[in-house]
Amino acid sequence: MKLEDLKKIRENASREIELRQKQARIKIVVGMGTSGIAAGAREVLKTFLDEIATHNLTDVMVTQTGEKGLASHEPMIEVHEEGKEVVVYGNIDPAKAKRIIAEHIINHNPVSEYMIEVK
């Protein structure tokens, strides 16, 4: 497999997809400071990426940030959605990440059990 193969993906992508992604409807921010990484934030981030790819969620993007300052709740993530309050989830693992994708991101029902803050 060569990098050149990416050209096909580029050619097949419609302008519409490109535009949608540029104005991502939802942004998931994963805390990737030292304590987050030690608590398993990498696996959580990877799960979000895998789920986005599997469900072809072109309007959701994942980004990372440094220390969140609440080491006891790592891995922590935030869900930013346009026009809504930011939801902070704590003690996330890959199984919980999958549930957040299914319930919060796809079905618009935040998972109250994992929430530690709404701001």
Partner 1 sequence: MMDDICAHITDIVANSISAGAKKISVSIEMSKSRNILSLKITDNGKGMDKETAAKVIDPFYSTKTGRKVGLGIPLLKGTAETCGGGFALNSNEGTGTEIEAFFLLDHPDLPPLGKLKDTILISSVSNPEVNFSFDIKTDDRNFLFDTEEINKILDGLPINDPEVMKFFTKYLDENLEFI
- Please report whether residue 106 would count as binding partner 1 according to CB under 8 A: no
Query: Applying CB under 8 A, does 12 fall inside the site for partner 1?
Result: yes
User: Is 16 a residue that touches partner 1 (CB under 8 A)?
Assistant: no
> Nearest Cα to 33, choosing from 64, 67, 78, 62?
67
Output Rg (C-alpha) for the chain, integer angstroms.
15
Stretch that binds partner 1, among 28-36, 79-87, 89-97, 111-119 (CB under 8 A): 28-36
Using the rule CB under 8 A, which residue among 25, 26, 52, 110 binds partner 1? Answer: 52
Cα–Cα–Cα angle for 28, 55, 39, nearest 5°?
40
> In this structure, is the dihedral angle defined by the CA atoms of residues 89, 24, 95 and 93, taken in order, positive or negative?
negative
- By residue count, the chain amounts to 119
Is 70 among the residues that bind partner 1 (CB under 8 A)? no
What residue ranges bind partner 1 (CB under 8 A)? 1, 3-7, 9-10, 12-13, 17-18, 21-22, 30, 32-35, 37-38, 42, 45-46, 49, 52-53, 55-58, 61-67
